[in-house]
Amino acid sequence: MSEKAKGGHKEKKEGKELLASIEDFSLARNILEGGGEVLQEYELERRFLPNRLLTKQELAALETRLITQKYVTLKDADGTQVAFRLRITRNDTEGLLYRIARKSRMGELFGKEERQIRFMPLADDPRTKEHQQLWNLSTSRSIQRQRYYIPHTLPNGGTCEIHYEVWLGGKEDGFVRVEVEFSNDEDEKYYEAHVEDPGILPDWIGEDVTFEPKFLAKSITKDGLPKKAVAHMKALRKKEG
């Protein structure tokens, strides 16, 4: 591993950042190359604002996971910048896990293939040290969310998974964003064709903000909440007293 990677920070020369190399990190290399420990999943995700906030009683019945997240950018052999998502997650079933992932566009719509490695952070596992080094290399802000999982069946028999996410800490504290993950293009097409039908999604799911880049987690990490999100949450809280 290079001295640059060992130092846990990005060096600067003549005012320019010198990104660490993917070759210095087996986790990043394996994500790009695939292989036995890499989990591959197709996801087609839409993002929404809630029409109402779920109650503590409703949330208590759901599976949940605490997610702490950053992003890190490395360079490949050609000098091309490649971004990776880093996570530290915890729930009652899995315990503490370290995760690294990269998404790439695929399919005829706007679906993505996610390649991910996840593991328990054991002291004698070299992956633990690598993940910590990548975490330290990251210049992005750390964000934290409590994610609640809601399985949902569409009227056509297809399924999707709803993520009700409560953002924690900082100026985003208490912000709620809803994600709906379809497992294939056909179910997403069905949703689009029947978006106005009652029952297509739970009625507490509101405006679709999928195509507003400011609502991407990476954008919020960098720029904070959009004004629209702040106003929406303020109106929701006022409405619910």
CATH code, domain with 72:
2.40.320.10
Q: Tell me the mean pLDDT in the region 45-58.
A: 96
Q: Give dist(CA 154, CA 138) in Å, integer.
A: 39
Q: Which of the two residues, 199 and 50, has the higher pLDDT score?
A: 50
Residue 166 lies in a domain: yes
Q: Which residue range is the domain that position 76 belongs to? A: 8-240
Residue at 150 is within a domain: yes
Please report whether residue 144 resides in a domain: yes
pLDDT band at 17 (very low <50, low <70, confident <90, very high): low
Angle between helices 126-137 and 26-33 (to 10 degrees): 90
3, part of any domain? no
Position 2 in a domain: no
pLDDT at 5 exceeding the cut of 80? no
Q: Could you tell me if residue 1 is inside a domain? A: no
pLDDT tens digit sequence for 84-127:
999 999 999 999 999 999 999 886 778 889 999 999 999 999 99
Per-residue model confidence (pLDDT) at position 223: 94
In terms of pLDDT, which residue wins out, 210 or 106?
A: 210
What would the pLDDT profile of 134-161 be if each residue is shown by its tens digit? 999 999 999 999 999 999 999 999 999 9
- For residue 135, what is the enclosing H or E element? helix 126-137
- pLDDT digits over 211-231, tens only? 999 999 999 999 999 999 999
Q: Quote the number of domains for the chain.
A: 1
Q: Does residue 30 fall inside a structural domain?
A: yes
Residue 75, burial from CB neighbour count under 10 angstroms (0-12, 13-18, 19+) = middle
Instruction: Output the pTM of the full model.
Output: 0.89
Closest CA to 87 of 107, 106, 102, 69: 69
Distance between CA atoms of 99 and 106, rounded to whole angstroms?
Answer: 22
